[in-house]
Each structure stands twice: as structure tokens, then as C-alpha cells.
Amino acid sequence: MKATGPITVADYMREVLTNPVTGYYMHRDVIGDKGDFITSPEVGQLFGEMVAIWLFSEWQKVGSPNPLQLVELGPGRGSLSEDLLRVFAKFGAANLVSLHLVELSPHLGRLQAQRLCGDTTKENEPNSVENHYRSGTSLHGTPVFWYHRLQDVPQYFSCVVANEFFDALPVHKFQKTEAGWREILIDIDPNDENKFKYVISRGETLASRLFIKKTECRNHLEVSPESAVIIQHIVDRLEEDGGIALLADYGHNGTNTDTFRAFKRHQLWDPLVEPGTADLTADVDFSCLKDAAGDRVVTFGPVSQREFLINMGIEVRLEMLLKSCKPELKDRLVTGYHLMVDKEKMGDRFKFFALFPSVLKEHLKKFPVAGFHN
């Protein structure tokens, strides 16, 4: 910044989170009690089971295309993928599926490999002609592959899942002023060169010209072009190869404004303080994802996590587990359930959003999508 001047919030997020050497996600375990945040799959098995049942059910409704690829974007520690494989194995489909994980972090990739495959994974040489950089076999006998990009995943029918993935993608921030829209940038504090501060761009920027609609009525705006690009890659895949996508994240439907923040040790933290030591995040704007998806897909939601999980039968599953589990696990199950569905916890803030190829439009009228209808 000393040499080039202020940078966009998007560039700041990208550098802080995914720099190969110093990036927050790249070299340490950031999820769970000892990390900075927790995700629903880490709370317990209920979340992953409901997602797995949804995927299995919707896959069956469209004729159980074979082979089936389960694709997870940003798999964290691998908890959700582990639940998906366990449920598909329980339904007798372990030999029909393969698991494909899109993961940039070498550290998280190793955690996922150990969790899902034990010591059976093999890492490819950097000059390998293979699109994946790691492969192995799960404890259920399912082939598992790791990639840096969704575009590298083989082109077959896929169930694409992304839980708390889009919230970590870079956002541009804009402020409406008397002179028009201006971009919020990050610069070195002139009073202390070890600190950063927000500044307003002097004039329009390329991003402010490209990404703000003339009809926009909010005074503050966050836009994630990278999210739109990834949604378009997902839509390409669903349209060309068939498939289903289910996204879960905290977000809104085009109403929220200033949501960029950081979490450190499970507490809110100033995103500009000690960059690289805290998670940076912004609420997902599902209305932007819908716009990016266009009319090539049919979308459902966003609906609250509470509504989706209850519609999927999480209460019935909880009762079943409580009857059969060890006494010491009961409190953990009940606490995890409330954390996921209570309105004041994750229940309302987190949303579910589904995408189907538009060729299924009439089919979906006959066979309503689970979880998104009362």
C-alpha cells in the first residue's frame, strides 16, 4: 500500500485469507472449539444427515443417475462430507458415488484426508497431468479426490454442496455519497503505519461502475463478483452434465448493507486489526446469486436453516437418536439441535438455497423439492 496506495476490500480479503504463505486458511486449523468459529456440521451429525437425506431424495426423484459425484466446495474439516458418505452408504449407495472436494488450503486438505480416508491418500506431483492434486479411498470404499477449482472436477451428474463457503469470498464495499457511488478502500493509517483504516475513493472505480445497479436503493452495498463467477460455473455444470446444488450460508435476499466483519476465538473482531489472525466474512446476498444464475436454473429459497431442517425431519431424527444414544451424549445432541434451529442462534441467520437445471422445471412441479415447502 505504501507504494501503490489504497486497495479494495476484496483484495484485502483475498490476501488475508488465501495468501499461500501467510493466508488465514492456509496453514492452521481455524474451525471448532479451539479455532475462531464453528460450522453446523461441526456441531453434530444431525445437520449433515439432513443434508445427505435431501441430496439422496432429490437424486432419486430425478431417476438416480449413475455415476453420481458428490462435490463439496470448501469442505472445512470434512465433517459434512463424512456425514454424506455415511448416509449414502447406509442407503446402499456407497459403490455408486465418488466424492470430489474443492479445497485451496493444504492444511485443511490434509485434515479432510485423514478424517475421510485415514492414511490411504496419495498426493500428486506438482507436474502431474491429473486435474486432482490428491486422491484416496474413504472408509466406506468411496473414491475421494481433491481439486483447487470446481472446473477441474470431472463432468458427470453432480450433487454440489457448499456450507459456509460463499461468506468467505471477497466482497467490494460501496457507499452512496452526494457525488454518487464511491468504493470503500483500505489504506495505511497516516497516524500509525502499523494500522489500517477505511477510506472512500475520490471518484468512481471500475468496480463501482460495473457492479451497482441503477435501481439500487440501499446507501451501503457489498458485492462479491467471485461468488457470481462460481455460481455461473455451478450452473454450467448443472445445465451441461445434470445435477443439483444446495448452498447453506448466513445471508440475506438483497436487504442487508454493512456486514463485513471478523471473528477471532468465537468473538467479533475488527477486520483491520492483526490481519491473518482472524476469519473475515460478509453475509451472502442470495439475490445476487439468483441474478448470476439466470434462467438456466430453477432456484428455491433462500429459506431459514430452521425451516429447512425442521421440514427435513430433524426433530424426528433427534428423538430417534436420544432413544438409542449413550446418556453422556444426550446433552450434546440437544444442545447442538438448539444451536442449529433456534431463531436467536443459527436458525434464522443461516439460509438454504437450492438450484436445479431448468430442464427439470415441469418435473419439479410434480415432485416438490423437499425442505423448501411446508
Question: Is residue 146 one of the residues assigned to a domain?
Answer: yes
Per the DSSP assignment, residues forming a β-bridge with 197 are 187
pLDDT band at 19 (very low <50, low <70, confident <90, very high): confident
pLDDT at position 318 over 90: yes
Can you read off the three cell numbers belonging to residue 117?
480416508
The DSSP output letter for 128 is -
Give the total number of structural domains in the chain.
1
Domain span at residue 132?
23-170+221-366
Question: Is residue 100 one of the residues assigned to a domain?
Answer: yes
Question: Is residue 197 one of the residues assigned to a domain?
Answer: no
Q: Tell me, what amino acid is at 53?
A: I
The pLDDT > 90 percentage for the chain reads: 75
CB 135 within 8 A of CB 145: yes
Q: Tell me, what amino acid is at 1?
A: M
Can you read off the three cell numbers belonging to residue 104?
485451496
CATH of the domain at 323: 3.40.50.12710
What is the pLDDT at residue 118?
A: 93
* Coil/strand/helix, residue 347: helix
The DSSP output letter for 343 is I
| Weakest-pLDDT range from 137-146, 219-228, 329-338, 350-359 | 329-338
List Cβ neighbours of 137 (8 Å cut-off, separation of 6 or more).
Answer: 117, 120, 143, 144
Question: Is residue 92 one of the residues assigned to a domain?
Answer: yes
Question: Is residue 178 one of the residues assigned to a domain?
Answer: no
How far is C-alpha 220 from the geometric centre of its chain's CA atoms?
A: 24
Taking only the tens place, the pLDDT of each residue in 325-340 is 888 888 889 999 999 9
Question: Is residue 62 one of the residues assigned to a domain?
Answer: yes
C-alpha 116/C-alpha 82 separation (Å) is 6
The DSSP output letter for 345 is I
**Mean model confidence pLDDT for the chain:** 92
Question: Is residue 349 one of the residues assigned to a domain?
Answer: yes
C-alpha 182/C-alpha 59 separation (Å) is 45
Question: Is residue 196 one of the residues assigned to a domain?
Answer: no
Taking only the tens place, the pLDDT of each residue in 97-127 is 999 999 999 889 999 999 999 988 999 888 8
Helix spans in 206-351 (H) = 206-211, 225-241, 286-293, 305-311, 314-324, 327-341
Per the DSSP assignment, residues forming a β-bridge with 177 are 180
What is the pLDDT at residue 38?
A: 73
